[in-house]
Amino acid sequence: MQRFLEAFAIRVNGGREDSISDLVSERNGLVGTMKLCRLKDRQGNIRIGEVRDNERILEYPRRPEKGSTLEQAALELGGKARADGRSGREMEWPSHKRGEVTLLAPVDYQEVWAAGVTYLRSKSARMEESDFSASAYDRVYEAARPELFFKAQPEKVVGPWEAVGIRHDADWSVPEPELAIFLSSGGEMLGCTIGNDMSSRDIEGENLLYLPQAKVYDRSCALGPFLALETSEAAIREWEIHLRILRGETVAVELETRLAQIKRPLSDLIDYLFRCQRFPNGVILLTGTGLVPPDDFTLQEGDRVQIDLSGVGQLENPVVVV
């Protein structure tokens, strides 16, 4: 695995990370949208940045005494604050060239949770993988209460171009491309990013009670590349999400769907997530997938998973066995 990661890093550093033009474009709707990122500079300092154009990132200068810098930045810079003094930040905030920093997952102190069976396609796939659990998936799709489960601690989330994992004891592993929403401690939707909820379908299909093992393991969650602020549910439902899996130079899987296909209002998912729960630094919620690779497909080490989301950009990750 280590040799593979080193080879992938050489390929990325040899040109892919020198520009973010592939991640910010008219195609994915990012022009004019405020975008935050987490970055690591050449001195190893981890900072929050505002992506200003294809080559520059402005460093958010404030650090809270405790709690989430990312949540604070999203609250301060989103909404009405966008128009206040943005040009002044050009002069006041430190600026980095894109090639001088490494993008990290847009999460600092937030737990990651996930919703399941929110698309009809997801319900059908989950029912097909398991006769034992089929009726449970059918019922939860129609029920008022959604399926919600814990996905990852923040330190276990991988970011852009970091490797996602497939379990060594699984025979059927797939990515699950999802809209990920960033919520404040008060349950306000501050922005969106791309999520990849890696899953071992054979383990979950064997017994529904194995879902935590199928979903929660090392490198099983990826987020990135940016946090797009000022997003409404009405606008989000106009977006498209696209999955491409590359095996060598061959496209092994290519799928797309619209977020309008999410059955439940996002507000319902948020409401249930915050019932009897508290998230002092906010929380990230994966909202389910409608993109399911064919049943005869499973990921292999060396594959590359690319996920495009209209309002956010592109998240790419290589695959390793864990």
Mean pLDDT of each 10-residue bin along the chain, 322 residues long: 53 43 44 83 93 86 84 82 55 85 96 88 52 66 90 98 98 98 96 97 91 97 94 92 97 96 94 97 96 96 97 96 98
CB 45 within 8 A of CB 69: no
Domain 111-321, CATH number (from 3.40.50.2000, 3.30.420.40, 3.90.850.10, 1.10.357.10): 3.90.850.10
Q: 79 in helix, strand or coil?
A: helix
Structure confidence at residue 208 (pLDDT): 86
Q: How many angstroms separate the CA atoms of 16 and 21, rounded? A: 10
pTM for this prediction:
0.86
Give the pLDDT confidence score for residue 63 in this predicted structure: 80
**Do 152 and 218 form a contact (C-beta atoms < 8 A)?**
no
How far apart are the C-alpha atoms of 158 and 110, rounded to whole Å? 13
Query: What pLDDT does 12 receive?
Result: 47
pLDDT at 102: 96
pLDDT reported for residue 284: 98
Nearest 10 degrees: Cα torsion 131, 136, 142, 143: 180
The domain limits of the chain are 2-104, 111-321
Contact 165, 1 (CB under 8 A): no
Q: Mapping DSSP to helix (H, G, I), strand (E, B) and coil, where does residue 283 land?
A: strand
- In angstroms, how far apart are the furthest CA atoms of the chain? 61
Provide, for the chain, the percentages of residues in helix, strand and coil under a 3-state DSSP scheme, each rounded to the nearest 5.
Answer: 30, 30, 40
